[in-house]
Amino acid sequence: MGFPKDFLWGGATAANQCEGAYSEGGKGLSTADVMTAAAHGVPREITDEVVEGKYYPSHNAVNHYHHFKEDIALFAEMGFKSYRMSIAWSRIFPNGDELAPNEEGLKHYDEVFDTCLQYGIEPVVTLSHFETPLGLLKYGSWENREVIQFFLRYSETVFNRYKGKVKYWLTFNEINVMSTKPWMAAGVHSDDEQVRMTAAYHQFLASAKAVQLAHKIDPENKVGMMYNGHLAYPASSDPDDIQRTNEFMHKMLFYSDVQCRGYYPAYKLKEFEREGIVLPIQDGDLEELKNGKVDFLSFSYYMTHVVGKNSPLVFTGLNGVKTGYTNPHLKMSDWGWAINPSGLRHLLNLLYDRYQIPLMIVENGLGADDKVEEDGSIRDSYRIDYLRDHLQEMKNAIDLDGIPVMGYTMWGPIDIIAASTGEMRKRYGFIYVDVDDQGNGTFKRIKKDSFTWYKNVIATNGEDLN
C-alpha cells in the first residue's frame, strides 16, 4: 500500500507569479501585468494599462525567467519527479492574435523543459494560468467566440513544438474562478452572470477542442482540467443551510461536470432557464464538448468553507469567496484561510465518486510570513506540520478509500507572488527568495527547513512524513 511507485511528487508555479521579465524576450502584456499589489488593507487594483508610479508585482516577481536553471536544480535536489508550471501565452503570441508565434518565447520554454528533463523531472504544463494576453481585450476577451481560435492557434503551436518533451497538459487553471474572479480567469471585468457564463462556455469549447488537438498531435499526451478545490460544509443541520450548501457546490462543480462528463448538467440548465441566461450554442458545439472530455482532473486545495442560508451565490471583486460564515472547529492561517487537512480526503472522494477518472493535486500549501533568523536559517516548522497533515490525508484516501491519485505538486516550492494579494510576504516555498513586497532585494535563494523535510518525503515515496 502507500503511494504508487511512479507517483509524481513535485511543486507548482505560475508564470505570472514567478517569471518576471514581463517585457523581455518579445513578451506582450497579460491581464496579470496590469494588476497592482494589495497594500494596507486595500485590495488589488486592475488598471487599463501599465501606469507609471504604480507597482505591478508580476513585472519582476522572483525573476524565475533568468533563474530557472538554478531553481530547477534546487527542485531536482529535493528529488522532484514533476514540475507543474505554466507557459505565458503572451510570450508565444504577444497580443494573442498574431498569425506567427514569437520564436524567442518558444526557445525560452525549450530551455526550461530541457532543463527539467535533464534532471528527470516531468513537466506538467498549464496553457492558461490567469494571464490572458491583454491584446485580446479589444475583442471582448473570452466573451467573444473568436478568442477560441486564437487559443487553439497557441495550443497547436506549443503541442507541436514541445512534442516529446511535455506529455501532461492542463487547459485552464482553476476554471471555476470564472464565478469568483473572472478577471483572473478570463480577462472579463463583469459581475453580470450572462457575461461570465458566455466566457465560461467559450473556455469549455476551447478546452474540448484543445484536448482533441493534443491527442491528435501526440497520442501520448494526457490533458487534464484544473478545478479550484472549493469544498463547503453546511453551517448547521437546518435544511435551508444544507440546500444553500448544495447550491454553492453546484456553482463550483458544474465546471468540472462539463469538462469531465462532456455536457452541461441538468441543474445548471435549469438555473439558466430561471435566470434568463442563454448560451451561444452553435451547430456541432455539443459534440465538441462530448468528444473533448479531459483525461484526468487536477485541482488545488487550500481550505474549506462554511455555507448557510444567508451565503451569497454570486461573488464579486478580487477578495475571494466570502460566505459570511466561519468554522469554529478549525484553525486559521495568517491570511484567514481555514486549515482543514481532512477536507482534502473528503474532496478526493467527492471528485472520484463523481467522475471516476484519475486525480492530481496540483496546488496545496501554506502562505505564511517567514522570518530569516540571524544565522540565515528559515525555521518553518508550521509549514512542515501543514503539509504533513495534508499528505497523510492524501495517503488515507489512497490506502483506505482506493482513490487513484497521480501526483502531488505543492504550491509553490519557491517563494512567488501571491495571486490573492500580489504580496511577497505571503510565502509558500521550500526555497526563500530575498525580495520584498515592493520588488526590492538580492533575489538570493535560501533553503528553508521544509526543503530537507520534503526531500526526505520524496526519497521515501511518502512513507516517512516525519
Active-site annotation, residues: 174, 363
Nearest residue to 365 via CA among 305, 302, 449: 302
Alpha helices by DSSP H, listed for 218-340, are 239-261, 266-275, 285-291
- Give the other-Cβ count within 10 Å of 445's Cβ: 18
In one-letter notation, the amino acid at residue 187 is G
Alpha carbons within 13 angstroms on the beta-carbon side of residue 130 total: 27
From the list 178, 97, 179, the residue with the least C-alpha distance to 134 is 97
DSSP letter for 234, please: E
Determine how many CB atoms are found less than 10 A away from the CB of residue 458: 17
Instruction: Calculate the alpha carbon distances from 401 to 229, 340, 356, 404 in Å.
Output: 19, 18, 13, 9
Q: Are strands 338-339 and 331-332 parallel, antiparallel or unpaired?
A: antiparallel
Longest CA span, the chain: 66
Report how far residue 177's alpha carbon sits from residue 31's, in angstroms, rounded to the nearest whole number: 15
| Stretch (H or E) spanning 314 | none
C-alpha closest to that of 26 among 135, 79, 99, 101: 101
Query: Which amino acid is located at 161 in the chain?
Result: R
What is the distance in angstroms between the CA of the first residue and the CA of the last residue of the chain? Answer: 18
The single-letter DSSP state of residue 256 is H
